[in-house]
Every structure is written in structure tokens, then in C-alpha cells.
Amino acid sequence: MPLLSDRAGKTSQVVVMPASLEDRAKAPAGLYRLGLLLTCAWIFTFFAALEIAFFWRARTMEFWQPIPLPKTLWVSTAVILWSSVLFERARRLYRRGQHLIASRLLLITACCGAAFLASQLSAWRQLILAGAYVQANPFNSFIYIFTGLHGIHLLGGLIALGVVLLRRSKRRELVDVVCFYWHFMGLLWVVLFATLLMA
């Protein structure tokens, strides 16, 4: 069965490769993209439900007391947006064959991801020191839920980025997919943070 090369869309002629020429140890072309689509759809649905629950609970003013958010969350927002810029730059360099520079940018992106998670943990520490515990107020609970669950999903992206960095032979499709997931995580955090600010 012939497979369509991912370069077909970049040329004026369609390039068809016999399946016998493909490495059977590798995932078929397009499988990573399908996995990304399904993963992002599931995550979007999950967090959309949390957003609905947040706004529904905010309408019930009993025990609902918004608190000032730790300033560390602004720092983590800047870090994740900057990491997304770096990742996109690395992806474009990798597509042009500049693999060494791209790998260095991917490593810096991974460091930014780790810094984001450390910043979120620091925000939790500030909340606890201020007495903003989970059980004290429903708004507090949503702060921990939003930051905690987003952090777990970003950790998954960080692990995927680690896999990309450690592989000797990087598939361009895999680099693209992890990059798009990273962008999705960055956008998701901006939405969650804006939601908390609007409370």
C-alpha cells in the first residue's frame, strides 16, 4: 500500500513512496498528528468543563472570596510564552536542516518548561504561607486545580520534549507535533490565568 510523503504538500508534484521502503519500526506517517489532535481535543474538553464549573460556582457568592494571585504567576506566564517562541524558532530551523542550532533551542525550551513548573510550585508555596488553603475558599480550590492539572499536562509535554532531544534520529513530524502541543499548553495557561484574574 503506497504512503503519501509529508513532502508532497511542499512540491508541485505528488511524491508517492511504496510502503516497502518505509521503516516498519517507525510509526506510520500522520499517526503522531492524529494522536496530537485526539489528545488536545480531550484536554480541551476537560478544561472547558472546569471553566464552566468555575464560572457557575462564581455566581454563587456564598463563601466565594477571590484573593490576590501570587506575582510569581505573572513570571511563569512570561516564561511559558517565551518558551513557545523558542520552540517555534527551533521547529523552523529543524525543518531547514539546521539541526544543531535547533537542538540547542530545544534544550533551552526544556529549561524554560522546568522553570515554569518551578515557578508554579513557588506560587503554591506563597499561597500556603499566606494561609490560602484549598479548603478555606472555593476560589482557592480552583487556583490549585488549574495550576496543578495544567502543570501535570505540561510535564507530559516536557517528557515528550525530552524524548525528542534524546533521540539520535529525530522525525520532523515528531518535532512538529511536540511543538504544537507546547503551543497548546501555552495558550491554555493564558486562558486559565485570565479566568482567575477575572474572578
pTM exceeding 0.85: no
* Domains, the chain: 31-198 (1.20.120.80)
**pLDDT, position 77:** 97
**pLDDT, position 1:** 44
**pLDDT, position 26:** 60
**pLDDT, position 172:** 85
**pLDDT, position 14:** 53
Cα–Cα distance, 198 to 71 (Å, whole number):
15
- Kindly tell me the sign of the dihedral angle through the C-alpha atoms of 183, 187, 190, 192: negative
Residue 191: which region, alpha, beta or left (left: phi > 0; alpha: psi -120 to 50)? alpha
**pLDDT, position 171:** 78
- List, for the chain, all residue ranges whose pLDDT scores fall below the cut of 50: 1-5, 16-23
